[in-house]
Every structure is written in C-alpha cells, then in structure tokens.
Amino acid sequence: MEFSEAELAIREQLRRFMVTELEPRTAVFESGSELPYALMRKMIVELGLAMGADEIERGEARKPRGEGGADGEMRRFMRFAETQLMIEMCRVNPGYALSFGASVGLFGRNVAERGTREQAARWVPPVLRGEKIGCWCLTEPEAGSDALGGMRATARRDGDSFVLNGSKTFITNAPFADSFLVYAKSEEGLVQAFLVEKGTSGLSVSNPFPKMGMRSSPTGAVYLEGVRVPVANLLGGGIGDRDHVRKSLSSERIGLAAMSYGIAERCFEIAVAYAKTRVQGGKPIAEHQLVAARLARMYVGLSNARRIVYSSARGEPMSALEASAGKLYVAEVGTQVAMDAIHVLGGNGYMDEYVVERLARDAKLVEIGGGTTEIQLLTIARHVLA
C-alpha cells in the first residue's frame, strides 16, 4: 500500500514517540506499578493532539465540514492521522491505546458531538488535553451484549436533578477517572446519558480488575447509589435520537479494527524477522515450507485487514454495517496472526521477551469488547436482510 509524503511523515512522527517513550514504560504500565495517564498528557502535548480544545472551551460553534474540496481533504487527512495514531499505539501497547481511546474518544468525542455548547466547553477540553481522564459507562453486570434492552441503571427526575441508581462493569479507566458519562434508563424508558464528576456523593468505583490482557488499561466497576446530578448534566439536554448509543458503538468498532490491525502488523513483523534468523536443520526456519506457508497465510489476513482499516481512514465514514463487518474480520485476524506469531517463535513466543505473547493476550479482548463476535454477526445479518 502506497503512502503519501504527508502520511509517511505522520507515521514516522507517531512511531518515533511510541518506540522512544511508550515502549520503555510498557513494563511498569503492565505491572500496574505506574499509571499510563502522565504519558498520555505528554503525548498529547508533544504530538499536538488537543486540536480544537481551545475553540470548544471558548464555546465556539463547531463549523460543519463537507467531504468535498479542501474541507474534505482535511477531514480525510485527520481521519488518517487518528487511525495511524491508534495503529502505532497498538503496535507497542494496546492497553495504553484502549485507555486513551476511552477517554478522548468515547467520553470526549461523545460530549463534544452530542452535548450542549456549555457542556462541551466545561467537560471536553480538560479530557482532550489529558488533564482529566474520562470514561464511558454503558455495560452492566447483567447487560453486556444487550446493553440497552437489559439496562437496569435508572434515572429518576427529582425537581431540578436526576437521581441515578445502578452499577456498571468492565469500564475502562473507571478506577481513576475524573469524568463519567453514565447511561441510565429514564422513567419514560429512554436510555439517556449523564455527566458525573468524580467525588459526587453516591458515586464509587472498584479497584482495577485483574485481567488476562490489556493490563496497561485500568478496568473496573462503577457504583451509583442515589447519585444526584443536576438537569444541566443531562447530555445534550436529553438525546432524542434513540440510536445515539449504537452510533457511538460504530465509532468504537472502527477504532477497534485499527487496534487489531496494529497488533497484527507488529506480530507479523516479529515473526518474519525471527524466521529469517532462527536456524534449524542448518538453515533459517523461513526456508522450511511449512513455516513459510504459515507466514504467507498471516500476510493474506494482514493484507485484507489493511485494506479495510485504511479504506475507512482515507475514504467516507463507515456505515454501521461496514463498521461491524470490519471489526469482526480484523479482530479475528489480529488474534489469529498473534497466535501464529507465537507458533513461529515456538518456545520463545511464549516468553515475555519476544512481545508476541502479550500482544496475543491483548488481541483477544478486541473480539469481545465493543460487541462480541456473535453480536457483530447478528448486526450484520440484520442489516443485510433489512
């Protein structure tokens, strides 16, 4: 795949930061002895990722941009840069990327796009700058795949406030978040979103959960016991569009596809380099046909995944159908390529030193988060048969 000079420059800048700054910190993030948020702030400043924060803080209206002409070119380039950022983070540390995406994307972008101008001015800039950490509170202990239909968290109107009760689980950043976007059912049965600050009476969080992978990303539960929030904290003054959560999930799925691609790309590179230098039977294992065939199959999956991810990054925004199909396919490729890389490296693939065992553990989460494989299949079928 060909890259323009501008795209190559962005990729090089992002990759340099991840190799020199993120890679050396990954061990302490994975162990939990250090949190990733200070490095996120540094990354945002050094890479200039807080674009638009000043305008939002001043309450300026966001100018609509079209897909044609100069506006279209700028929008497409920004989509490419965002996608490449996710890829480069995930080549090194997918858990770090998960925390960043949940804070800036699922919290920050949701409030920027669906909140009132006053809400955006108050809540979004600190998150875009990395000064505060946001989290998106949708999943519940008894409502995972059926997050909307099975939602039990409630929001009861009481004068000039709403009172929230319920609990959320598997929430990225929850143990250390400053700002919470909490979904609950109103008395009318509508799912609405509420902005809640850390320290609000009745709001509490769990310690970070021990996890198989994505250990650089703190995950926990959120508990709501009579949490009183002002009416002014109802996102957008009330979301009339019943499909707003699904739209957020589509955006998340596009990001998760880029995440899996970054994992697969790095694992493939490690496997190829190892196969060329590891000698068995008097020659590099890459010259053994079965090893070469495995690498070839890894490349086929990676090549198809690349086309999906970059077609979204360079072209029109994906539909809900395309987002689900892309997430399903690339997530499975990410896990398969990572597991194949372990197989190519043999015993060394099972060791921390060679990175692929960690990336394989991280890859599996993408098949589960943002809607499981089964949910993607049902979503795709529903659209195809509509």
Last residue of a domain, one of 196, 213, 237: 237
Query: What backbone phi and psi angles, to 5 degrees, belong to 60?
Result: -75, 140
pLDDT score at 254: 92
Q: Please report, for the domain that includes residue 180, its CATH number.
A: 2.40.110.10
Alpha-carbon distance 13 to 3, whole Å?
Answer: 14
pLDDT score at 148: 80
Q: How many CB atoms lie within 10 A of CB 137?
A: 29
Query: What backbone phi and psi angles, to 5 degrees, belong to 374?
Result: -65, -40
The active-site residue out of 30, 82, 88, 252 is 252
Are residues 228 and 254 both part of a single domain? no
CA dihedral 250, 256, 262, 263 (to 10 degrees): -150
Q: Domain range spanning residue 53? A: 5-131
Are residues 16 and 69 both part of a single domain? yes
> In angstroms, what is the C-alpha Rg of the chain?
21
Domain count, the chain: 3
**Beta strand 179-186 with 154-158: parallel, antiparallel or unpaired?**
parallel
pLDDT score at 295: 98
Sign of the CA dihedral with 169 first, then 171, 176, and 177 last: negative
Are residues 222 and 255 both part of a single domain? no
pLDDT score at 149: 81
252 catalytic, yes or no? yes
Are residues 220 and 252 both part of a single domain? no
Last residue of a domain, one of 90, 108, 131: 131
pTM reported for the whole predicted model: 0.94
Task: Name, in order, each residue with C-beta under 8 angstroms of 31's C-beta and a sequence gap of 6 or more.
Answer: 215
Are residues 21 and 88 both part of a single domain? yes
Q: Which two tokens stand for residue 142?
A: 């008894």
pLDDT score at 192: 94
pLDDT score at 61: 60
Alpha-carbon distance 237 to 115, whole Å?
Answer: 8
Alpha-carbon distance 285 to 385, whole Å?
Answer: 47
Are residues 255 and 218 both part of a single domain? no
Last residue of a domain, one of 199, 221, 237: 237
pLDDT score at 273: 98
Helix (H, G, I), strand (E, B) or coil at 279: strand
Judge contact between 110 and 255, C-beta under 8 A.
no
Average confidence (pLDDT) per 10 residues, the chain, 386 residues = 92 98 98 97 96 90 53 81 97 98 95 94 97 96 82 96 98 98 93 96 98 98 98 90 71 93 98 97 96 98 96 84 95 98 97 95 95 93 95
Q: Please report, for the domain that includes residue 292, its CATH number.
A: 1.20.140.10
Of 147, 194, 198, nearest to 173 (Cα)?
A: 198
